[in-house]
Structure 1
Amino acid sequence: MKRFDQINMIPFIDIMLVLLAIVLTTASFISQGLIPVDLPKSEQAEQAGGDEMTVEIAINAHNQMFFDGEPVTAETLPEKLAPHASHAATMPVILRVDKAAAFEHFISVVDVLKAGHFDKLSIQTEQVQ
């Protein structure tokens, strides 16, 4: 058996490039929203700051409610918000509601947020081009 003087790095580099491509592809899917919500349009939409810890509540066109991507109901939403109650006054809450969703679901979420003293509420819209 012949002894190698050097290690062949080309197969290793090939494998690493394939792994890099897989990671980048998966990361692009993760960064996109998982809950399809057709946001209403607004001419006065502003860019939200992104470095703070936020809570996201979404309501899709089928009136299904999600708390940070997990399905919830109006009854279980206060339980999900409870761990954040200590900093409720300063924690931003982003509300994404599909324009086809029933308005009563929007109101029920706002009622829960008011009861929990979550005052920094942002309603996400799409800016009119």
Structure 2
Amino acid sequence: MKRFDQINMIPFIDIMLVLLAIVLTTASFISQGLIPVDLPKAEQSQQASSDEKVLEIAINAQNQIFFEGNLVTAADLGGKLDAHLNTTPVQLRVDKVAAFEHFISVVDVLKAKQFEQLSIQTEQAP
């Protein structure tokens, strides 16, 4: 019988490539957010930098408000924001069929809490 002096790396590389494919696939789902929101399109949309912690507020098509993935009311949103510095950037994702009234109520709460670093997420228009 032949003696093995080296480790066969081919199976190890195959496993690592499969794991890499799984990680990249799940990372793309995670980065899109958990709240399904059909974003409006804008020609001048820009890619936001993700260097620091960003608070995410979403309003879905049923006009429900989500703060960091948790369902809240507009009244409760102020209390949730109190736990964060008003210099923390806020990203607002609003479904294109959501009532404008809910968008204004969220922006009003942000202004009352003096959050000024607000970005509104849109999709790039073709």
- Rate the CA distance shift 1:7–1:30 in 2: closer, same or farther, 3 A: same
Rounded to whole Å, the distance in 2 between the matches of 1:20 and 1:127 is 28
Q: 1:125 maps to what in 2?
A: 122
3-state secondary structure, aligned to 2:83: helix
**Structure 1 segment 1-129 matched on structure 2, within 5 A:** 4-43=4-43, 45-47=44-46, 49-50=48-49, 51-85=51-85, 88=86, 90-129=87-126
Identity of aligned residues (%): 75
Task: With the length of structure 2 as denominator, give the TM-score of the two structures.
Answer: 0.78
* Structure 2 counterpart of 1:65, one-letter code: I
Give the distance between the partners of 2:47 and 2:24, measured in 1 at CA.
25
Change (3 A) 1:8 1:34: same
Residue 116 of structure 2 aligns with an amino acid whose one-letter code is: D
- The TM-score normalised by the length of structure 1 is 0.77
Q: Cα distance 1:23–1:122, how it changes in 2: closer, same or farther (>3 A)?
A: closer
Tell me the SS of whatever aligns to 2:46: coil
Asked if structure 1 preserves the Cα contact closer than 8 Å seen for 2:45 and 2:123, the reply is no
Q: Deviations along 1:89-109, whole A, 9 cap, x unmatched?
A: x33222221121122211221
Q: Distance in 1 between matches of 2:8 and 2:124?
A: 53
- For structure 2, the residue ranges without an aligned partner over 5 or more in a row are none
Residue 63 of structure 1 deviates from its aligned partner by 0.8
**SS of equivalent residue, structure 1 residue 19:** helix
The farther-off stretch of 46-55 and 14-23 is: 46-55
- Equivalent residue letter for 2:77: L
